[in-house]
Structure 1
Amino acid sequence: MNVLRKMIKWLTYFLLAGVGGAGVVGLSIVLYLGPQLPDIEQLRNFQLQTPLRIFTRDEKLIGEFGEKRRNPVTYDEIPQAYIQAILAAEDTRFFSHSGIDIKGLARAFVQLAQSGRIQSGGSTITMQVARNYLLTLDQTFTRKFKEILIALQMEKILSKEDIMALYVNKIYLGNRAYGIDAAAEVYYGKELHELSLAQLAMIAGLPKAPSRYNPIVNPRRALLRRNWIIQRMFDLNMIDKDSYDQAVREPITARYHGLQREVEAPYVAEMVRKEVAERMGRDDLYTAGYRVYTTVDSKAQTVANAALIDGLLAYDKRHGWRGGQQRDIPPFVEETEEKNSIYADGELDLGISPETGAEEAVGENISNWLKVLRRAPSFSKVQPAIVSLAEGKKLQVVNEEGEYIDIPWQAVTWASRYRTPVWKGPKLKAVTDIVRRGDLVYIEPLEEGWGLSQIPEIQGAFVSLSPDDGGVMALLGGFNFYQNKFNRAYQGGRQAGSVFKPFVYMTALMNGYTAASLVNDAPVVFEDVSLESAWRPSNSSGKFYGPTRLRHALYQSRNLVSIRLMQSVGVEQVIELAQSVGFNPEELPANLSLSLGSAELSPLNIAAGYSVIANGGYKVTPHLIERIESSTGEVLFQASTPVVCKQCEASTLRVVRDGIERPVAPKVLDERVVYIMHSMLKDVIKKGTGRRALVLKRNDIAGKTGTTNDRHDAWFSGFNQDLVATVWVGFDKPQATGEYGGKAALPVWIDYMGAMLEGKPESNMLQPPGIVTVKIDPATGRIARPGQTGAIFEVFRKELAPRATSVQSPASTSGTMPGMPAEAVVEEGPAAEALF
């Protein structure tokens, strides 16, 4: 017994010495590393790197810029099934331990002792948060000790729910996705709460090794990891047998999903990004979570997208088939080294349904077609397809999903071969006139089914503004941003053609002319020693119509009348008025060619000028950014652009609008002149080159067509009091379009305005004081005789209303005008061209 007692005594001494030694070592570590530890309190307000996000004015996402895709969520927003899955995968005892898991650390130590290298760190979720937020990723003992100490401190000042939220928002999950909400978007294109148990388990398997268990790159390995987690959840009684069975049988549905924009507006997003970068000038622009709210209206942008894309596709079809993208592509390639992932061995093990494979559906191997289609780009709604059957009037194609689609004959007949801008080849007799099996073509969705299509070579631009303050409601810079990022809406410029004529006419109205004034539409010759030959401008019809009232000349877009008007009032006066409504005078040629729109202007320029006409004569500033907020909602910038206030006194400089004090837009035009111009531009639609817009059946719309030399550029700019829209259609490298503005551009404007004004009451400009209506003789512009047949009503400024003996032209309309450059001749289609 004495011997036994002595042994117990000595063992006790040794144990106490060991514990004491360990305590001394532990205390030494704490004393040494303690001063090096970061402040744990910073985790309470830690700023995660989140991208710059851009929204419409109604808070719908249109763009995101940043290296990391991240959408932080609160603990309450985390699905319970995901919490269970991550516990099963990473830290089963998370809610019961104090920050470290002794068993896990002991297991890691044994593995290290046996193998001589670190195999697992025994890290809890708390320790991972400590490492991810406050430490480096170096695998050293010093870092591990710091990790343990920080984890112990974290558990004292943060709740388990706080720690879990920090964890799920920080972890990297592959494909630029940081945090679980971003991963839901990247892998499944869904909101986090929409994911199934199997999908949540798949994401829960990613933190261990995002590249190794990536379901897109390594679907087999990802499947094994996912099913192991589901098995663990079942073994831990987190899920029942039915849930387990359903989850492990669910096929892999993960594929890469780009940014899920709520509104497609990439041209706007890039414009805003550049402006914010210039305005903010901050290094953390793409990481601090700034939120930019624009003036863009989500409905307006969506409608504009469809209108311009449909308009350009319609133009392209009118001019014929230019040929497929590739020919005679074999459906499969034997003995290829590269296997398509969908048809790789073991597809059933991955849960991929054979019904999605086209070769099982029709009994042929089309793996090479599918490979080609997945590499072929889609543009807007136009999608690639490969011809699988071309016979007589039967056309069948296969898309990238392996679906076979029948294209009806009536959706093919447009495709007579392109010859020139004004001539197509003979009508099709069979689909084999243009395509054969194995050709890569493009298709587009129709109201019913699909139709043959092609990527248009023609380009276009669209801008819509609020005339009340110049806010951009919708903007497109081309057919497809990802095809060509050049923004035609505001970069560069194209000859404006007749859309500029209203500013010439308003200058004349400001200088004594009336809508009834007669100007001679007759030939004129300009001699200039700098030109090789004399310049003889003409109307696009080649005809001349003699003395013509200004109203009639505008809605018929008579070139000679515009030239004579500018000659009468002076080039300088036209430029002065144009500058007052917002045009840059340096972009306006100081010669008579300006009367025909030789100035190279952007659609944004034109829309801004028309906004002044639409709002009654007030100059507004086009702008895109409404405000910029920090990630916490602090307003860092608030736009304060001028706003129209027709009820304000002349002395009023600022006004409160929507809770924001803003400067009052300056009045730059006589409202009576603007009222007369409204009525003249309404006649462009009622009687002239814009008559296609009669389909809208509204009396409050007005506008002007424009077509330049050889029909290189087609325009339409129009408005009512609440909305302005400008459309340009043409080729990037100027060449003939073969169409006038009333045919190429106006339909886009009609589609947009029709959708935006549907169900809204008409909004006409109120007649201002000092306007009178007089019955006149349409042939002379003079006051009509009592009882005269054919007399018409015209509006005048009161002091310029005709008297019985008055002459309506205040200046001579004869003579020659030297100095007109021949290359600046701009034509406008006659009314007859726009009536069909």
Structure 2
Amino acid sequence: MSNNNQKTFHIHNLIKKFFIYLSGIIIILIFTLTILFFYYVSSAPKISEDDLSRQNITTIYDNQDRVISRLGIQKIEYAKNNQIPSTLKNAIVSIEDRRFYKHHGIDLVRIFGAAVSNIFGHSSGMQGGSTLTQQLVKLSVFSTADSDRTFKRKAQEAWLAINVERHFTKSQILDFYINKAYMGNGIYGMQTAAQYYYGKDLMELNLSELALLAGMPQSPTYYNPATGNLKYATNRRNEVLNAMVRNKYITQGEAKQASHESITSGLDPNHGNVSSSDPNVKEKFIDSYIKEILDELQAQGYNPYKDGLKVHTNLDLNAQLYLYTAANKLVPFQNNKMQTGIAVINPHNGKIIAMLGGRHTGNIMYGLNRAVQTNRSSGSTAKPIMDYGPAIEYLDWPTFKTVQDNYFTFPGTHTVLYDFDKKYKGAMTMRDALIQSRNVPAIRSLQEVGLKKSTIFLKKLGISQKEPYTLQNGIALYISPLQVAAAYAAFANGGIYYKPYYINSITTQDGKTKRFSPNGKRAMKESTAYMITDMLKGVFSDPEGSGTVAQISGVNQAGKTGTTNYPKDSKKSGVMDSWMVGYTKNYSIAVWTGYDHPFQPGSSISERYTKSSQLLYRAIMKYLDYQNHAQDWVVPNNVQAIKVNNKRQLAIYGSKWANSTENNYNLKPYSNNSNMFSSSPSFRPKENINEHSIKDNQNSFPSSYTSSSTSNSSSTSNSTSERINKPIEQYPNNNNNITVR
């Protein structure tokens, strides 16, 4: 045999071996995939006719397993087969699954075509291989979360689709799909969509309207003719019409005539006959909480409008109802335009038990939630978390540390820092400076501890921003009521920060439950939390405290006020924002009040109504503590009580402050009598907390109101990113004289 023949034979032999090996690999791969397929389908959930026919409404529960919301604003209308026009079925099949009547649940031709299209980019990655039956199965027993898009789920979906095709006719499958599809705006099913969008039943709709409904399930938001993008909606309708022409269900002339019709033609602004009789639908008092639930579900990868979830939340429904009532009916506000944002947190675990995004909001659903806005200055509520907390944590300051209240300009500027009374008090204790909310001592304290350490302290409390903090932030942080409540909760529980959360568990249609549990991290020493708390009690109880209006007899509480005045160059007087944040061992509450557009005429808070935040806080805390009374805080082992100038003060054991006479203080050991460490009464008045008692006590302002507890101002700061589509107005940078409290 010649060399050429030998080479040819050798090459042919290698090719033969290659194909033998390749065939073996393919056979092994097919065998392995087959085994894996049947292994996966062995654990597939069961699917019943009830699963296929019911609408995928996500149900939301409170912390007592009571239904508080169902994501469907309409009454359920199931369209029977004789109520569904054949034109609609033809349109759906044409756009979603043109081989629907030929396959048996899965379409291998469609899957192969989708794979080729995706590989070569012919469909921009949007082409799918799922049949209508598979889509129905997914809507009935699976979630649409990104994490569930696995081979196992696809295998189970295909297996169940085959079984559905064995037990139900094609007409029944289409009926199920038509009644289950999500159609936007909380609408499930195309019969209800016909009423909501056009005020008609399906049998009354024309070709253009039916084509749009058939195409909407792919993206109900974009293709929504009422609130979506009209260009996208028009293109989608025309795409359906062209698909119907290709499948010979309509002529080109019919398609052309329908495509010339305006996409908004025939829309019913009154939304037909879809009013719900469900008392849990559109409840205004839970609106802001539900809005955050929906955002969280989507952030987790779920589609709350398609997945039919059971969501158990941390909401205390009774507390939420009382919160809504107090803000809208019980506590006096300047007018109905004056707004509020409120967050209530359980300090033991970070659970958000109540939240209010606004008052007198009308019929707007899921509107602006002021409880999570981060573009309004917190005023002096910043002082414990940025100034004095870090000073105790890193410098071991005692509560009697001398701080100076004297003339001050911010370094490198001519900006003078004032207090509300435009006076200086000279040397004073840190306790008195915090209780009286003096500005200069707070900023001087921040200078001593340093911005670097204060930034670290804030970050441990869940507060950060992209731009570096400045000294001005020591009396004005741009943070939300939710962030403030979570930060102060760490003082309440002894120094542990819990990231606030809404959802306790999520259960999908296939019965799988994902649970959420607190994961606290130590943010500060227990001694720091206790010493700040001990000082902040005086905000309520001390005659010179800035929050005396919010004092509640028998309640062991600590807290801080915060208000901001208008910049000097704005030529406006009054107050822009008024805050009250307070806590017991069981609850942390932050209240903001102000106007969404503070620079518009009539949008400044008069001195009288700067107290609305305190009254609102007082009403809520009084109600909550009556339900779950909190004991007083216990002094930690490393904190020493000392009598200084006949006043009880605190210091860290072993620090120079506990064992010296620095600054000529008259230091004496404090008695170990437990009463000296606690102001908690041994009893709690058994009063009945209800609307009438609160109204009687609070509809008129207490005579103890004084001008000394109303003034504050904003300072320069860069705000963090905004949370809502239409945010309330941001403060302008202010390089003028600054006054805050």
Question: Counterpart amino acid of 2:438?
Answer: R
Counterpart mapping for 1:194-273 below 5 A: 256-257=275-276, 260-261=279-280, 264-273=285-294
Report the Cα distance in structure 1 between the residues aligned to 2:369 and 2:531, rounded to whole angstroms.
Answer: 34
Task: Tell me: CA distance 1:170–1:516, structure 2 relative to 1, closer, same or farther (3 Å).
Answer: closer
Report the Cα distance in structure 2 between the residues aligned to 1:666 and 1:176, rounded to whole angstroms.
Answer: 39
Cα deviation, residue 131, structure 1:
11
Cα deviation, residue 277, structure 1:
2.0
CA contact under 8 A between 1:53 and 1:63: conserved in structure 2? yes
Cα deviation, residue 305, structure 1:
1.1
CA contact under 8 A between 1:588 and 1:594: conserved in structure 2? no
Report the Cα distance in structure 1 between the residues aligned to 2:347 and 2:77, rounded to whole angstroms.
Answer: 36
Which of 512, 520, 545 is the aligned partner of 1:634? 512
Report the Cα distance in structure 2 between the residues aligned to 1:58 and 1:549, rounded to whole angstroms.
Answer: 46
Which of 568, 576, 587 is the aligned partner of 1:712? 576
Task: Tell me: CA distance 1:671–1:279, structure 2 relative to 1, closer, same or farther (3 Å).
Answer: same
Cα deviation, residue 524, structure 1:
2.0
Cα deviation, residue 128, structure 1:
6.0
Question: Counterpart amino acid of 2:516?
Answer: A
CA contact under 8 A between 2:555 and 2:630: conserved in structure 1? yes
CA contact under 8 A between 2:358 and 2:368: conserved in structure 1? yes
CA contact under 8 A between 2:579 and 2:613: conserved in structure 1? yes
Task: Tell me: CA distance 1:792–1:749, structure 2 relative to 1, closer, same or farther (3 Å).
Answer: same
Report the Cα distance in structure 2 between the residues aligned to 1:507 and 1:478, rounded to whole angstroms.
Answer: 33
Counterpart mapping for 1:338-357 below 5 A: none
For normalisation by structure 1, the TM-score amounts to 0.49
Match in the other structure for 1:350: none
Give yes or no for the alignment of 1:756 onto 2:640: no
Which of 693, 713, 721 is the aligned partner of 2:585? 721
Give yes or no for the alignment of 1:701 onto 2:586: no
Give yes or no for the alignment of 1:596 onto 2:470: no
Cα deviation, residue 740, structure 1:
8.0
Aligned positions, number: 467
CA contact under 8 A between 2:357 and 2:368: conserved in structure 1? yes
Give yes or no for the alignment of 1:508 onto 2:388: no
Give yes or no for the alignment of 1:524 onto 2:408: yes
Give yes or no for the alignment of 1:552 onto 2:416: no
Match in the other structure for 1:469: 349
Task: Tell me: CA distance 1:176–1:473, structure 2 relative to 1, closer, same or farther (3 Å).
Answer: closer
Counterpart mapping for 1:104-123 below 5 A: none
Match in the other structure for 1:737: 605
Report the Cα distance in structure 1 between the residues aligned to 2:202 and 2:525, rounded to whole angstroms.
Answer: 71
Report the Cα distance in structure 2 between the residues aligned to 1:304 and 1:766, rounded to whole angstroms.
Answer: 29
Cα deviation, residue 822, structure 1:
5.5
Counterpart mapping for 1:557-572 below 5 A: 557-572=437-452
Give yes or no for the alignment of 1:302 onto 2:214: no
Cα deviation, residue 795, structure 1:
2.1
1:400-441 CA-to-partner distances (Å, cap 9, x unmatched) read xxxxxxxxxxxxxxxxxxxxxxxxxxxxxxxxxxxxxxxxxx
Question: Counterpart amino acid of 2:521?
Answer: P
Q: Secondary structure at the match of 2:642?
A: strand
Counterpart mapping for 1:365-404 below 5 A: none
Q: Secondary structure at the match of 2:560?
A: strand
CA contact under 8 A between 1:459 and 1:730: conserved in structure 2? yes
Report the Cα distance in structure 1 between the residues aligned to 2:524 and 2:446, rounded to whole angstroms.
Answer: 18
CA contact under 8 A between 1:47 and 1:288: conserved in structure 2? no
Report the Cα distance in structure 2 between the residues aligned to 1:808 and 1:478, rounded to whole angstroms.
Answer: 51
Report the Cα distance in structure 2 between the residues aligned to 1:457 and 1:755, rounded to whole angstroms.
Answer: 25
Match in the other structure for 2:458: 578
Task: Tell me: CA distance 1:720–1:522, structure 2 relative to 1, closer, same or farther (3 Å).
Answer: same
Give yes or no for the alignment of 1:537 onto 2:417: yes
Match in the other structure for 2:651: 796
Match in the other structure for 2:549: 692
CA contact under 8 A between 1:676 and 1:795: conserved in structure 2? yes
Give yes or no for the alignment of 1:293 onto 2:312: yes
Match in the other structure for 2:693: none
CA contact under 8 A between 1:515 and 1:551: conserved in structure 2? yes
Match in the other structure for 1:65: 71
1:337-375 CA-to-partner distances (Å, cap 9, x unmatched) read xxxxxxxxxxxxxxxxxxxxxxxxxxxxxxxxxxxxxxx
Question: Counterpart amino acid of 2:662?
Answer: S
CA contact under 8 A between 2:579 and 2:593: conserved in structure 1? yes
Cα deviation, residue 719, structure 1:
0.5
CA contact under 8 A between 2:373 and 2:480: conserved in structure 1? yes
CA contact under 8 A between 1:578 and 1:585: conserved in structure 2? no
Report the Cα distance in structure 2 between the residues aligned to 1:742 and 1:773, rounded to whole angstroms.
Answer: 35
Report the Cα distance in structure 2 between the residues aligned to 1:62 and 1:628, rounded to whole angstroms.
Answer: 15
1:537-566 CA-to-partner distances (Å, cap 9, x unmatched) read 111011211111111111100111111111
Cα deviation, residue 716, structure 1:
0.7
Cα deviation, residue 803, structure 1:
4.1
CA contact under 8 A between 1:307 and 1:751: conserved in structure 2? yes
User: Which protein is bigger by CA-based radius of gyration?
Assistant: 1
Q: Secondary structure at the match of 1:495?
A: coil
CA contact under 8 A between 1:707 and 1:826: conserved in structure 2? no
Cα deviation, residue 69, structure 1:
4.6
Cα deviation, residue 54, structure 1:
2.5
Which of 823, 828, 832 is the aligned partner of 2:735? 823
Cα deviation, residue 825, structure 1:
5.8
Cα deviation, residue 672, structure 1:
0.8
Question: Counterpart amino acid of 1:266?
Answer: D
1:616-645 CA-to-partner distances (Å, cap 9, x unmatched) read 10111111122111245431x221331xxx
CA contact under 8 A between 2:58 and 2:310: conserved in structure 1? yes
Question: Counterpart amino acid of 2:593?
Answer: V
Counterpart mapping for 1:172-211 below 5 A: none
CA contact under 8 A between 2:85 and 2:202: conserved in structure 1? no
Q: Secondary structure at the match of 1:745?
A: helix
Cα deviation, residue 721, structure 1:
0.8
Match in the other structure for 2:370: 488
Match in the other structure for 2:129: none
Give yes or no for the alignment of 1:315 onto 2:315: no
Question: Counterpart amino acid of 1:270?
Answer: K
Report the Cα distance in structure 2 between the residues aligned to 1:44 and 1:684, rounded to whole angstroms.
Answer: 59
Report the Cα distance in structure 2 between the residues aligned to 1:255 and 1:277, rounded to whole angstroms.
Answer: 26
Task: Tell me: CA distance 1:585–1:799, structure 2 relative to 1, closer, same or farther (3 Å).
Answer: farther
Which of 638, 644, 657 is the aligned partner of 1:770? 638
Report the Cα distance in structure 2 between the residues aligned to 1:481 and 1:630, rounded to whole angstroms.
Answer: 33
Task: Tell me: CA distance 1:524–1:578, structure 2 relative to 1, closer, same or farther (3 Å).
Answer: same
Which of 653, 663, 675 is the aligned partner of 2:530? 675
Task: Tell me: CA distance 1:808–1:570, structure 2 relative to 1, closer, same or farther (3 Å).
Answer: farther
Match in the other structure for 1:805: 661
Task: Tell me: CA distance 1:522–1:55, structure 2 relative to 1, closer, same or farther (3 Å).
Answer: same
CA contact under 8 A between 2:373 and 2:479: conserved in structure 1? no
Give yes or no for the alignment of 1:274 onto 2:292: no
Report the Cα distance in structure 2 between the residues aligned to 1:564 and 1:720, rounded to whole angstroms.
Answer: 29
Alpha-carbon RMSD across the aligned residues, in angstroms, is: 4.6
